[in-house]
């Protein structure tokens, strides 16, 4: 994990250096230039470049020069140089394992770059956007290292959006790869493959030889996902590219992956050969991290084949090398395997000795995880603190802006005197009307969202649920009652959580609908089945207003499927059509017109406000986004023209949770 962190941050720093300077400068040359700088701007640039040169071997000096650059840039009020200095300080903190301080430094760099976006000339916009995107990516790396995957993805998607705007496809490929790493860490293999493939497509388009590394990553995910044939095909494709470019480290990693493939398929002879090839390259290049892994793999293969002498030799070498470079995960695995081997051969003293080493490594890892958890909590606090400060700052700016606008209007009014009096009055009235309109829209939106929430939580629904639970208990259906109650409580919690937000990711809306439909299935004794699908082209951070679809789904069940007296089906689909998000709710119930007549003829007429409230919400959304937002209700018929169900289509503007 330690080596992974170093490689990852080094990669980011190199990426940043490409953006900051048109040519590479050696340290001696930079130190000589520092003696006679042409200007303050050049001096700060040289200090930052010197700082970057120390990233691999002396983070203390890196910090020293970056802080000098920061002090000078703040004194001279050079914002771009100040942001660069904060970025280098963040990198130095990463190398020193000061993750919270790294986050603060990157956040400061982010703040300055975001301010620059509002003030720099048009020709410099793309450059600032790229620097800001790289800063977002660095924050994502810090969060990923601390297993704060939600925040890591949030910042990676922010970086991706900016790189897309500036058409920097090389950086986009890097970001896609980082997103794939996060999803792989979370064992969401399909998601990982999706983003690795996006990175690969760009790399092949650009002719980037690092595509082979991405292909190797794809093969490794296939192997974890038990798709061995696809994994092998990916490894063979990567081998051709790595061989042609003579990428030794990449080949060594690939051979380790080949070995893992052969172990999984039971071909231990080929696995041994692959691991030995990897070990040979790692030893030639001095890569102890990779070598320790290869030694561990070889020890495991020999142990599986009962070649205990060879197994003991390689496992001991693996443990020793891993301990030397501080990779406790490998020490733990090797020492456990050694303990097991000695125990099987009856050498209890040696077995106990290695078991103690295994326990020590395990405790070391647990301690590191505990520290990481504490750091993660501290970082979350920093995120919350920054958001609160940002909100306060925005409020102050808004007050200042309002005050300045008010003063400006007064000055214009007095200066114009009688000649512009009518114009000034008209402007003032128009301005007040616009403000009143905005406030009215905001009030209506909050009001209808609350009405929608109360509609879902109405006593009628709650009493029905409690009655169903009671029936289950009376009929000795304790398991069903517990299951129903669990789903009911989860739905209530989700409903309350979502009601606090103006927009939620589509996956969260799907989660709520899934829970609600499962609850209704239990309530009505599985009188219907359902399916929910989402177009793969819909991005993870696309969002919709919370609890928007639930009233339509409820109507489809209560008024469409339940009166049918036969088992029915309801489907909910989310697709993208041009610049619209289209949500479709389809049921094979009694049809819209017939259900409408049944409600009119019902003895206990109940006036449902769900559709009316939802339509009003769509009108408010349309007013805010200035994009069409509407709902269509269609009667479905069969081949004989008889009613065969209802289809409800919602056309919504595309919005993002980051908005």
Classify residue 423: in a domain, yes or no: no
- Chain segment 280-295, per-residue pLDDT in tens: 998 888 888 889 999 9
Q: Are strands 568-577 and 630-637 parallel, antiparallel or unpaired?
A: unpaired
pTM above 0.75, yes or no: no
Q: Confirm whether 14 is domain-assigned.
A: no
pLDDT for 85-111, tens place per residue? 999 999 888 888 788 888 889 989 989
With respect to residue 598, please indicate whether it lies within any of the assigned structural domains: yes
Domain boundary among 246, 279, 304: 246
- 483: pLDDT strictly greater than 80: no
377 falls within a domain: no
Dist CA 282 CA 285 (whole Å): 5
Q: What CATH number corresponds to the domain at position 466?
A: 3.30.565.10
The answer to whether 128 and 6 have CB atoms below 8 angstroms apart is no
Q: Above 80 in pLDDT, residue 535?
A: yes
What is the SS3 assignment for 628?
coil
**Does the residue 188 lie in any domain?**
yes
Q: Which has the closest alpha carbon to 134: 155, 108, 165, 105?
A: 155
Q: Is the pLDDT of residue 401 over 50?
A: yes
| Spatial distance between the Cα atoms of 36 and 553, rounded to a whole number of angstroms | 73
Domain of residue 647, residue span: 440-656
Instruction: For residue 584, tell me if it sits in a domain.
Output: yes
Q: Which of 85-99, 187-201, 248-262, 602-616 has the lowest mean pLDDT?
A: 602-616
Nearest to 87 by CA among 118, 117, 112, 116: 112
Pairing mode, strands 643-653 and 580-587: antiparallel
pLDDT computed for residue 646 by the predictor: 93
DSSP string, 205-257: HHT-TTHHHHHHHHHHHHHHTT-HHHHHHHHHHHHHHHHHHT-HHHHHHHHHH
Q: Is residue 249 very low, low, confident or very high in pLDDT (cuts 50, 70, 90)? A: confident
Last residue of a domain, one of 246, 265, 295: 246
Q: Is 37:28 a contact under the CB 8 Å cutoff? A: no
Which of 246, 262, 296 is the endpoint of a domain?
A: 246
Range with the largest mean pLDDT of 354-363, 492-501, 520-529, 568-577: 568-577
pLDDT number for residue 602: 62
The strands making up 630-637's β-sheet, listed across from edge to edge, are 528-534, 568-577, 580-587, 643-653, 630-637
252 is a domain residue = no
- Domain membership of residue 96 (yes or no) is no
pLDDT value of residue 188: 93
d(CA 380, CA 388): 12
Number of domains forming the structure of the chain: 2
Q: What percent of the chain has pLDDT over 90?
A: 32
Asked if 328 and 361 touch (Cβ cutoff 8 Å), the reply is: yes
Structure tokens at 49: 């470049």
Q: Which two tokens stand for residue 194?
A: 């999706």
């Amino acid at each position: 994990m330690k080596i992974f962190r170093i490689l990852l941050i080094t990669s980011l720093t190199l990426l940043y250096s490409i953006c900051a300077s048109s040519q590479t400068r050696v340290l001696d040359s930079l130190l000589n230039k520092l003696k006679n700088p042409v200007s303050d701007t050049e001096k700060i640039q040289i200090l930052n470049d010197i700082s970057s040169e120390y990233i691999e071997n002396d983070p203390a000096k890196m910090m020293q020069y970056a802080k000098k650059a920061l002090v000078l840039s703040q004194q001279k009020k050079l914002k771009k140089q100040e942001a660069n200095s904060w970025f280098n300080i963040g990198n130095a903190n990463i190398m020193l394992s000061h993750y919270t301080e790294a986050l603060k430094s990157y956040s400061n760099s982010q703040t300055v770059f975001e301010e620059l976006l509002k003030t720099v000339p048009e020709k410099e916009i793309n450059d600032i956007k790229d620097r800001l995107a790289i800063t977002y990516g660095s924050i994502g790396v810090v969060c990923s290292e601390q297993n704060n995957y939600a925040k890591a993805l949030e910042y990676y998607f922010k970086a991706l959006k900016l790189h897309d705007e500036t058409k920097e496809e090389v950086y986009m490929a890097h970001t896609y790869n980082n997103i794939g790493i996060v999803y792989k860490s979370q064992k969401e293999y399909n998601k990982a493959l999706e983003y690795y493939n996006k990175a690969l497509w760009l790399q092949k388009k650009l002719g980037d030889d690092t595509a082979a590394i991405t292909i190797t990553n794809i093969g490794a995910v296939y192997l974890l996902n038990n798709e061995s044939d696809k994994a092998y095909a990916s490894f063979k494709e990567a081998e051709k590219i790595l061989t042609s470019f003579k990428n030794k480290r990449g080949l060594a990693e690939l051979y380790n992956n080949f070995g893992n493939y052969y172990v999984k398929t039971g071909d231990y002879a080929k696995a041994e050969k692959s691991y030995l090839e990897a070990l040979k390259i790692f030893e030639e290049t001095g890569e102890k991290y990779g070598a320790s892994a290869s030694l561990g793999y070889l020890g495991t293969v020999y142990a599986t084949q009962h070649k205990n002498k060879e197994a003991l030799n390689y496992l001991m070498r693996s443990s020793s090398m891993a301990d030397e470079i501080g990779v406790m995960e490998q020490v733990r695995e090797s020492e456990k395997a050694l303990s097991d081997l000695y125990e099987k051969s009856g050498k209890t003293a040696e077995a106990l000795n290695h078991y103690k080493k295994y326990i020590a490594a395990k405790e070391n890892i647990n301690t590191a995880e505990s520290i990481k958890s504490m750091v993660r909590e501290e970082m979350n606090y920093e995120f919350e603190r920054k958001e609160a400060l940002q909100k306060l700052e925005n409020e102050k700016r808004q007050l200042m802006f309002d005050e300045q606008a008010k003063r400006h209007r007064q000055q214009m009014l007095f200066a114009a005197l009688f000649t512009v009096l009518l114009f000034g009055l008209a402007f003032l009235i128009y301005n007040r009307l616009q403000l009143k309109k905005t406030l009215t829209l905001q009030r209506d939106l909050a009001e209808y969202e609350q009405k929608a929430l109360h509609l879902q939580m109405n006593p009628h629904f709650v009493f029905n649920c409690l009655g169903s639970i009671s029936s289950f208990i009376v009929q000795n259906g304790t398991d069903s009652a517990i299951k129903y109650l669990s789903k009911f409580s989860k739905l209530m919690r989700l409903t309350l959580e979502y009601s606090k937000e103006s927009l939620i990711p589509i996956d969260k809306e799907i989660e709520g609908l899934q829970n609600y439909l499962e609850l209704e299935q239990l309530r009505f004794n599985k009188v219907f089945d359902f399916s929910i699908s989402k177009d793969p082209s819909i991005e993870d951070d696309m969002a919709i207003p919370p609890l928007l679809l639930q009233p339509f789904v409820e109507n489809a069940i209560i008024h469409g499927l339940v009166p049918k007296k036969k088992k029915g089906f309801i489907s909910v689909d989310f697709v993208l059509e041009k610049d619209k998000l289209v949500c479709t709710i389809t049921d094979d119930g009694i049809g819209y017109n017939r259900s409408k007549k049944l409600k009119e003829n019902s003895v206990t007429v109940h006036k449902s406000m769900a559709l009316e409230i939802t339509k009003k919400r769509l009108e408010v959304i349309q007013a805010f986004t200035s994009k069409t937002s509407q709902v269509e209700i269609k009667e479905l018929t069969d081949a004989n023209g008889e009613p065969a169900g209802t289809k409800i289509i919602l056309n919504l503007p595309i919005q993002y949770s980051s908005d």
